[in-house]
Structure 1
């Protein structure tokens, strides 16, 4: 069975793409240009973990419980990434019509969170399906 045929793998790959696209967004460039260097470095590290974590968890499909556990940990990392992004976004001057590019970056991270949540739901559905088939045997 190919890995990418499973719907949760598609959504985890989508989360990888969405997180990775933030590296090319104005929100990331503002974080890197911040006078406090630790903010840009911390944001780059947590965004890299969130992005590569989504890609890495695709290959844990053989052990469903382990797969679900790592996706749940990845959800926490994604929430921390969104928190970092909101902090950077607010430090730019709050919410307004002049921050469209930064808003798109924040939206991409929220969409990635949604993709990870849906992937975790589908992994849970797979676990329940296998358990129900075991009861029938």
Structure 2
């Protein structure tokens, strides 16, 4: 399980969506950092993304199912990114100018790791199919 590169990519996606949101603020309003936990919608999406990454890690024997779970996780992260984009475009630009935090880019990093994992899963699946043809 851990010797496969896609498991490493999935563990990194798990860390990006499950651990790093606690460390990096999403944005700053009135000199106060806003983390994802202060909005239940973002917490739900980050939690679902973390759960899907963990589920994909645990289904290492079923490559097709792992591939589909990663695709669902990518769609979920794209929705999360869209919510961040919508919120950042609707931030008020008054005297206290809100600043965007690095936490808003976490779904992009997670999507990159999920794409790399899917590429490695596809490579494994092609290898297994080619060996089956030789039998």
TM-score of the pair, normalised by structure 1: 0.80
The structure richer in strand per residue is: 2
Q: Check the 8 A contact 1:46/1:77 in 2, yes or no.
A: yes
Supply the distance in 2 between the matched residues of 1:30 and 1:88 (Cα, whole angstroms). Answer: 13
1:65 deviation in Å?
A: 1.1
Q: Check the 8 A contact 2:22/2:36 in 1, yes or no.
A: no
Unaligned runs of at least 5 residues, structure 1:
34-39
Supply the distance in 1 between the matched residues of 2:7 and 2:98 (Cα, whole angstroms). Answer: 36
Q: Match of 1:10, SS?
A: helix
Does the alignment pair 1:105 with 2:103? yes
Residue 17 (structure 1) aligned to one of 15, 22, 28? 15
1:85 deviation in Å?
A: 1.9
> Partner of 2:80 in structure 1?
81
Residue 116 (structure 2) aligned to one of 115, 118, 128? 118
Does the alignment pair 1:66 with 2:30? no
CA RMSD after TM alignment = 2.2
Unaligned runs of at least 5 residues, structure 2:
28-33
Tell me the number of residue pairs that the alignment of Structure 1 and Structure 2 aligns: 125
> Partner of 1:130 in structure 2?
128
Q: Match of 1:54, SS?
A: helix
Q: Match of 2:26, SS?
A: helix
1:93 deviation in Å?
A: 4.8
> Partner of 1:90 in structure 2?
89
Supply the distance in 1 between the matched residues of 2:67 and 2:88 (Cα, whole angstroms). Answer: 31
C-alpha distance 31-63 of structure 1, shift in aligned 2 (>3 A): closer
TM-score of the pair, normalised by structure 2: 0.81
Q: Check the 8 A contact 1:16/1:54 in 2, yes or no.
A: yes
Q: Check the 8 A contact 2:81/2:108 in 1, yes or no.
A: yes
> Partner of 1:36 in structure 2?
none
The structure richer in helix per residue is: 1
1:125 deviation in Å?
A: 0.8
